Chain A
Amino acid sequence: MLYSKTARAVAVAASKGVACSELMTYFYKSLCHHLDTIYDEDEVLLALAEQLGNFTMLVGGPEYVHCLLPPLESLATVEETVVRDKAVESLRKISQEHSPVDLEVHFEPLVKRLASGDWFTSRTSACGLFSVCYPRVSSTVKAEIRQHFRTLCSDDTPMVRRAAASKLGEFAKVLELDYVKSDIISLFTALASDEQDSVRLLAVEACVSIATLLPQEDLETLVMPTLRQAAEDKSWRVRYMVADKFSELQKAVGPEITKNDLVPAFQNLLKDCEAEVRAAAANKVKEFCENLPEDNREQIIMTHILPCVKELVSDTNQHVKSALASVIMGLSTILGKDNTIEHLLPLFLAQLKDECPEVRLNIISNLDCVNEVIGIRQLSQSLLPAIVELAEDAKWRVRLAIIEYMPLLAGQLGVEFFDEKLNTLCMAWLIDHVYAIREAATCNLMKLVEKFGAEWAQNTIVPKVLGMANDPNYLHRMTTLFCINALSEACGQEITTKQMLPVVLKMSNDQVANVRFNVAKSLQKIGPVLDSNALQTEVKPVLEKLATDTDMDVKYFAQEAISVLALA
């Protein structure tokens, strides 16, 4: 860090002409030397690579920006990927500052050198630089650049071919359409049939960019054969990529091809033999259906997609079911009320009873979509046992997740349903064995009070909370205090003063010091809600007593409360 900041300082301090050449020579040599040096020098190199990208003005403006090229060229050959990538990023940035002449005289030769470098690290970096210099150079140089890119696409080492494949889309975007058709398509097809899986799967990404660039009528001949091949590739990782990029592909190829090609392809992915692929496809079900052309959307979904979805509900792999559960509810808005009740509702109910808790949670978290279409009452019969089971799951993270959905559910199900069925659950969480659950339950109560109001709180939950103050377990007595902390503001001054305060003050005599010092903290928290009379006559004496407690922590927190509440 110090190194690159010093460098910046030196550049600023020295005169422009001198700083440029001498300093850059030093940097260049320093890098040749430091490149293969010990340990954390990588962080220095990374910082240097980043800073050099911003050095244009410091070396005297765009006329001198090419001075920055030698050190960045060195950095672009380092074996540490993050440093190389940062150097390429900086080179891309400063390429914009080069005039077209400078691009041809300085920048493009750099790219050429990197592209013909001995070490594959320099050749991979070259791949990231073609697209930034292409637009503004002459047509002879453009031809050279295209040639270099072609060579790198068939490089011996997979790393370079991977780099070329990942930049294919970006390069295609800056090429003239004719060259896209003549050059890029053949490169794309070659990379999509590479023997290395890791190269083929990158070609899938390029497919999206290329398809967007070509006119609709050319897609069928130039892109679709390769895409079909990818969707049926022997390697599951390539098919996974297709599934993962499905929505982008759908947008790129347009409605006609979607109907004829992508729908059957999507069906196959949903039925793929590898669970990872099925899960990736399941994740895209809602998006895919939403983006189908409106005129026959419903028919396509009902005939082709829904049968596959039904199969997935009983898939053997839990990740597949879980992925489906996170999106399946979204189908109800697309299909409308009648179809939802007849076809989707049984699926929701089945997933609500799934043995895997994550599946059940994913259904519950998306209930609002269904609520819009058919109203949640339809589900409530099945919903309740599902919620109860999740609330009592042996794994605390599952219990935590359901607590977090409780305010949402309460809002959708309404206050009567909540009081009848869910209230006991919320209270039970307050005395869970796991602290994280007790804490979340307290927060949950606060959100419920915000939703249902102070009066509801006073009638239903405050008595129960205050009742815990007499529990033989000190952790439960402390939970009362934490609840009071959370609820006082929402409940308001009257409830806090008349009902909560007496309980808090009484606990100042508790046997357990932890309870006593939490009393002090509670008083500090609820103080602002109370009126000054209560503060002076009731709170102050108790705090003063606690300030003379035998326990150090009790004394400390009491004194802190006194000073924060300005009661001294």
Chain B
Amino acid sequence: MAGPGGGSSDVQWCFSQVKGAIDDDVAEADIISTVEFNHTGELLATGDKGGRVVIFQQEPESKNQPQCRGEYNVYSTFQSHEPEFDYLKSLEIEEKINKIRWLPQKNAAQFLLSTNDKTIKLWKISERDKRPEGYNLKEEDGRYRDPNTVTTLRVPIFRPMDLMVEASPRRVFANAHTYHINSIAVNSDYETYLSADDLRINLWHLEITDRSFNIVDIKPANMEELTEVITAAEFHPNQCNTFVYSSSKGTIRMCDMRASALCDKHAKMFEEPEDPNNRSFFSEIISSISDVKFSHSGRYMMTRDYLSVKIWDLNMETRPVETYQVHEYLRSKLCSLYENDCIFDKFECCWNGNDSVVMTGSYNNFFRMFDRGYRQDVTLEASRENSKPRSVLKPRKVSTGGKRKKDEISVDSLDFNKKILHTAWHPLDNIIAVATTNNLYIFQEKLN
């Protein structure tokens, strides 16, 4: 599993690679919208606002460079979704990829689900390294031969060719969501998956595209009574019948698909009572949960709201067992963050392979790691300045008081346009992928 200790106290992170354009002029289509490792960590997929998916593959470890694990290089790039137009409502449907989820490997090919606001697609990525030659009816360049010139029959043979990686859409799951899809999650039964939009969650079978079952519907009969929307949903890693969904009001509901066909009634509801001292006009907005992730063990789940990361024990609904402040210094700035819309940013969070450390992003291209065992946290920065190969990342600090030490940065100097919303942790090793607006940084644990 993870390296020595596994905790951030032992681990020093160093720069490994950065992908994407260097210039500051960011093309909108290149904005990264999702990052996901596959189950072995060999492949890393990113989705962007232009509807493209780029997959990187880790090179096998080489004997020449024992200090670092293999580098990630582009394996396949393809256009997953195109912009569409909903004629009935006169609305554009963005091609931005909201989520990518890898399927467990079934054979030599790889499969992933990618979704935009309305449509989910199953993609197959496969390799080809041989091609047939010696057809009877076709020339080598593809032209058809005159059948009258064919006097003998031969059996074609295979010759090696340069490796080609092909991506093909195998299934398209469309027309099941009225609102924008925010999450997809694959079930441990390897047969079904769910897709969630603002008000509904649907259950699909991977083989069946013309039908899905609605399992959660929180749309009120009168839309004027709408107070809460679904923000994220996730299946339990081991229990095929359990899933959770989080809401804009800071609650997480756990549902059991065994109990009934329609899971409107939750089996458990996780909610922390509000701290009366911290009450403000913005309380409800910042309590909205932007991401929910189960731990690999299936015992805990992590939620991310605007200012904090919370770890919940699935057996206790009344409050989280751990709370980590991501950027508490922003609490006094909520008004201006509301005005520039940053208060609505949806940060994701992730666990490391053995559930001992959690990571999430912040502003100014900072990202934070919290070691649950050692109760330590660190702030690191993803920037081009720190991008010398194998250079160790220096911990960063934001100064909140009047006195600013050297190397610290004051809250007012933070660049709120540089946000890290998407991060991913390799399932087995200490390798992390961090997405700034249009660049993907890969950091690795320093190995001696």
Chain A contact residues, CB within 8 Å of chain B = 10, 13-14, 22-23, 25-26, 29-30, 32-33, 36-39, 77-81, 119-122, 157-159, 162, 195-198, 234-237, 273-276
Question: In the complex, A554 Cα to B166 Cα: how many Å?
Answer: 58
Give the residues in chain B near A197, CB-CB below 8 Å. 189, 240-241, 257-258
- On whether the beta carbons of B106 and A79 are closer than 8 Å, the reply is yes
Give the residues in chain A near B168, CB-CB below 8 Å. 38-39
8 Å CB contact of B158 from A29, A234, A274:
A29
Q: Which stretch of B40-48, B87-95, B127-135 is in the interface?
A: B127-135
- On whether the beta carbons of B188 and A158 are closer than 8 Å, the reply is yes
Give the residues in chain B near A29, CB-CB below 8 Å. 130, 157-158
- On whether the beta carbons of A36 and B240 are closer than 8 Å, the reply is no
Q: Does B214 lie at the interface of the complex (its beta carbon under 8 Å from any beta carbon of A)?
A: no
8 Å CB contact of A33 from B128, B155, B240:
B128
Give the residues in chain A near B190, CB-CB below 8 Å. 157-159
**How far does the Cβ of B154 sit from chain A's closest Cβ, in whole Å?**
9
For the complex of A and B, 9 pairs with smallest distance between CB atoms:
A36-B126, A235-B258, A119-B107, A26-B155, A158-B189, A22-B155, A234-B258, A29-B158, A198-B189
Q: Does B124 lie at the interface of the complex (its beta carbon under 8 Å from any beta carbon of A)?
A: yes
**How far does the Cβ of A192 sit from chain B's closest Cβ, in whole Å?**
15
**How far does the Cβ of B126 sit from chain A's closest Cβ, in whole Å?**
4
Give the residues in chain B near A38, CB-CB below 8 Å. 166, 168
Give the residues in chain B near A26, CB-CB below 8 Å. 155-157
Q: A13-B153, A33-B131 are in contact. Are A120 and B106 (CB under 8 A)?
A: yes
Chain B contact residues, CB within 8 Å of chain A = 104-109, 111, 124, 126-128, 130-132, 153, 155-158, 166, 168, 170, 188-191, 207, 238-241, 257-261
Give the residues in chain B near A22, CB-CB below 8 Å. 155
8 Å CB contact of B107 from A78, A235, A276:
A78
Q: Determine the residue in chain B with the shortest Cβ distance to A198.
A: B189
Give the residues in chain A near B239, CB-CB below 8 Å. 195
Give the residues in chain A near B109, CB-CB below 8 Å. 36, 79
Give the residues in chain A near B158, CB-CB below 8 Å. 29-30, 33
8 Å CB contact of A274 from B189, B191, B261:
B261
- On whether the beta carbons of A30 and B132 are closer than 8 Å, the reply is yes
8 Å CB contact of A236 from B104, B128, B240, B260:
B260
Q: A38-B168, A81-B207 are in contact. Are A236 and B261 (CB under 8 A)?
A: yes
Give the residues in chain B near A273, CB-CB below 8 Å. 260
8 Å CB contact of A37 from B104, B128, B157:
B128
- On whether the beta carbons of A36 and B108 are closer than 8 Å, the reply is yes
- On whether the beta carbons of B191 and A198 are closer than 8 Å, the reply is yes
Q: A30-B132, A33-B128, A158-B188 are in contact. Are A236 and B258 (CB under 8 A)?
A: yes
**How far does the Cβ of B348 sit from chain A's closest Cβ, in whole Å?**
28
**Could you jot down 27 A-B contacts, CB within 8 Å?**
A22-B155, A26-B156, A29-B130, A29-B157, A29-B158, A32-B130, A33-B130, A33-B132, A33-B158, A36-B108, A36-B109, A36-B126, A36-B128, A80-B170, A119-B106, A158-B189, A159-B191, A162-B191, A195-B239, A196-B188, A196-B240, A197-B257, A234-B258, A235-B257, A236-B259, A274-B259, A274-B261
Give the residues in chain B near A23, CB-CB below 8 Å. 155
Question: In the complex, A23 Cα to B240 Cα: how many Å?
Answer: 45
Q: Determine the residue in chain B with the shortest Cβ distance to A119.
A: B107
Give the residues in chain B near A157, CB-CB below 8 Å. 104, 190
Question: In the complex, A10 Cα to B259 Cα: how many Å?
Answer: 58
Question: In the complex, A22 Cα to B259 Cα: how many Å?
Answer: 57
Q: Determine the residue in chain A with the shortest Cβ distance to B158.
A: A29
Give the residues in chain A near B126, CB-CB below 8 Å. 36-37
- 8 more A-B residue pairs beyond the given contacts A37-B126, A236-B260, with a C-beta to C-beta distance below 8 A: A30-B158, A33-B128, A33-B130, A79-B109, A81-B207, A159-B190, A234-B258, A237-B258
Question: In the complex, A523 Cα to B156 Cα: how many Å?
Answer: 64
* Chain B contact residues: helix, strand, loop or mixed: loop
Question: In the complex, A87 Cα to B108 Cα: how many Å?
Answer: 18
8 Å CB contact of B108 from A13, A119, A234, A236:
A119
Question: In the complex, A81 Cα to B207 Cα: how many Å?
Answer: 8
Give the residues in chain B near A81, CB-CB below 8 Å. 207
Q: Determine the residue in chain B with the shortest Cβ distance to A240.
A: B261
**How far does the Cβ of B104 sit from chain A's closest Cβ, in whole Å?**
8
Question: In the complex, A81 Cα to B127 Cα: how many Å?
Answer: 20
- On whether the beta carbons of B260 and A274 are closer than 8 Å, the reply is yes
- On whether the beta carbons of A196 and B189 are closer than 8 Å, the reply is yes
- On whether the beta carbons of B130 and A275 are closer than 8 Å, the reply is no
**How far does the Cβ of B187 sit from chain A's closest Cβ, in whole Å?**
9
Q: A29-B158, A159-B191 are in contact. Are A36 and B106 (CB under 8 A)?
A: no
**How far does the Cβ of A120 sit from chain B's closest Cβ, in whole Å?**
6
Give the residues in chain A near B111, CB-CB below 8 Å. 79
In the complex, which of the residues B124, B158, B189 has the most CB atoms of chain A within 10 Å of its own CB atom? B189
- On whether the beta carbons of B107 and A121 are closer than 8 Å, the reply is yes
**How far does the Cβ of A83 sit from chain B's closest Cβ, in whole Å?**
12
Question: In the complex, A489 Cα to B170 Cα: how many Å?
Answer: 54
**How far does the Cβ of B249 sit from chain A's closest Cβ, in whole Å?**
29
Question: In the complex, A14 Cα to B153 Cα: how many Å?
Answer: 9
Give the residues in chain A near B257, CB-CB below 8 Å. 197, 235
Give the residues in chain B near A198, CB-CB below 8 Å. 189, 191, 240
8 Å CB contact of A195 from B127, B132, B240, B260:
B240
**How far does the Cβ of A568 sit from chain B's closest Cβ, in whole Å?**
49
8 Å CB contact of B127 from A36, A39, A79:
A36
Q: Determine the residue in chain B with the shortest Cβ distance to A78.
A: B107
**How far does the Cβ of A55 sit from chain B's closest Cβ, in whole Å?**
16
Q: Determine the residue in chain A with the shortest Cβ distance to B108.
A: A36
Question: In the complex, A120 Cα to B241 Cα: how many Å?
Answer: 22
**How far does the Cβ of B43 sit from chain A's closest Cβ, in whole Å?**
16
Question: In the complex, A196 Cα to B189 Cα: how many Å?
Answer: 7
Q: A33-B128, A36-B126, A36-B128 are in contact. Are A10 and B191 (CB under 8 A)?
A: no
Question: In the complex, A77 Cα to B260 Cα: how many Å?
Answer: 36
Q: Determine the residue in chain A with the shortest Cβ distance to B191.
A: A198
**How far does the Cβ of A221 sit from chain B's closest Cβ, in whole Å?**
28
Give the residues in chain B near A237, CB-CB below 8 Å. 258
Question: In the complex, A157 Cα to B189 Cα: how many Å?
Answer: 8
Question: In the complex, A80 Cα to B107 Cα: how many Å?
Answer: 11
Give the residues in chain B near A33, CB-CB below 8 Å. 128, 130-132, 158
Question: In the complex, A71 Cα to B216 Cα: how many Å?
Answer: 45
**How far does the Cβ of A170 sit from chain B's closest Cβ, in whole Å?**
21
Q: Determine the residue in chain B with the shortest Cβ distance to A9.
A: B153
Question: In the complex, A318 Cα to B387 Cα: how many Å?
Answer: 64
**How far does the Cβ of A62 sit from chain B's closest Cβ, in whole Å?**
24
- On whether the beta carbons of B155 and A235 are closer than 8 Å, the reply is no
**How far does the Cβ of A54 sit from chain B's closest Cβ, in whole Å?**
21
Give the residues in chain B near A30, CB-CB below 8 Å. 132, 156, 158
Give the residues in chain A near B128, CB-CB below 8 Å. 33, 36-37
Question: In the complex, A559 Cα to B140 Cα: how many Å?
Answer: 57
In the complex, which of the residues A79, A81, A235, A237 has the most CB atoms of chain B within 10 Å of its own CB atom? A79
**How far does the Cβ of B102 sit from chain A's closest Cβ, in whole Å?**
14
Give the residues in chain A near B188, CB-CB below 8 Å. 158, 196
**How far does the Cβ of A2 sit from chain B's closest Cβ, in whole Å?**
9
Question: In the complex, A195 Cα to B240 Cα: how many Å?
Answer: 8
Question: In the complex, A229 Cα to B104 Cα: how many Å?
Answer: 31
Q: Determine the residue in chain B with the shortest Cβ distance to A237.
A: B258
Question: In the complex, A195 Cα to B187 Cα: how many Å?
Answer: 13
Question: In the complex, A25 Cα to B207 Cα: how many Å?
Answer: 31
- On whether the beta carbons of A79 and B107 are closer than 8 Å, the reply is yes
Give the residues in chain A near B238, CB-CB below 8 Å. 195
**How far does the Cβ of A28 sit from chain B's closest Cβ, in whole Å?**
10
Question: In the complex, A80 Cα to B259 Cα: how many Å?
Answer: 32
- On whether the beta carbons of A79 and B191 are closer than 8 Å, the reply is no
**How far does the Cβ of B342 sit from chain A's closest Cβ, in whole Å?**
43
Give the residues in chain A near B153, CB-CB below 8 Å. 10, 13-14
Question: In the complex, A120 Cα to B105 Cα: how many Å?
Answer: 9
In the complex, which of the residues A10, A22, A33, A78 has the most CB atoms of chain B within 10 Å of its own CB atom? A33
**How far does the Cβ of A341 sit from chain B's closest Cβ, in whole Å?**
37
Give the residues in chain B near A25, CB-CB below 8 Å. 155
**How far does the Cβ of B155 sit from chain A's closest Cβ, in whole Å?**
5
**How far does the Cβ of B360 sit from chain A's closest Cβ, in whole Å?**
32
